[in-house]
Amino acid sequence: MSDISEAAPPERPIFRSLFRGMACRCPACGEGRLYRAYLKPVDACAACGEELHHQRADDAPPYVVITIVAHVVIAGLLWLEVARQPPVWVHMAIWLPLTIILSLVLLPPVKGALIALQWALRMHGFGDGDPDEAPDGGLKPETRL
């Protein structure tokens, strides 16, 4: 009879990791910084040494941010138009800067949360095995010849 517990990797809580990522901290320890520049992740955590260069957030953070900002801005714009019917210049003065500011402020935490999600789910090399290995032990479809 074999011991199953020795083969199981340690648990990585998803919600704790997401909150750490949204705080722009290392998803593993929550201490080290996640970025060395505005959106440039560090290669490894300075506090715990967890390698973070595996991340592949790619285009997902902007899509998520666009969805969030669009819901906030469109809802506010429609409410203001129905409630007060201001001139167009008022809409431009409010909603254009708000769109830009919200987008720039939300990008780092959203990207951090997506990197943390990848870490928690052991995606893209964050697991203990081969980064090209699928969860069932076979190769991912894009790596098959």
Dmax over CA atoms of the chain, in Å, equals 77
Q: What is the pLDDT of residue 143?
A: 46
Q: What is the per-residue pLDDT for 54?
A: 86
Cβ neighbours, 10 Å, residue 116: 31
Q: Is 55 exposed, middle or buried (0-12, 13-18, 19+ CB in 10 A)?
A: buried
Tokens encoding 100: 């830009």
Range list of H helices, the chain: 14-22, 60-84, 88-120
User: What is the pLDDT tens value at each position of the chain, 145 positions in all?
Assistant: 555 556 678 889 999 999 999 999 999 999 999 999 999 999 999 999 999 998 999 899 999 999 999 999 999 999 999 999 999 999 999 999 999 999 999 999 999 999 999 999 999 888 765 554 445 554 455 544 4
pTM of the model: 0.81
Domain boundaries of the chain, sorted by first residue: 13-124
Angle at CA 11, nearest 5°, toward 10 and 14? 150
| pLDDT for position 117 | 95
CA distances for 72 relative to 16, 34, 66, angstroms: 26, 27, 10
Helix (H, G, I), strand (E, B) or coil at 35: strand
What is the reported pLDDT for 7?
Answer: 66
Angle ∠(132,138,144) on CA atoms, nearest 5: 65
Identify the pLDDT of residue 142: 53
Quote the pLDDT of residue 9.
81
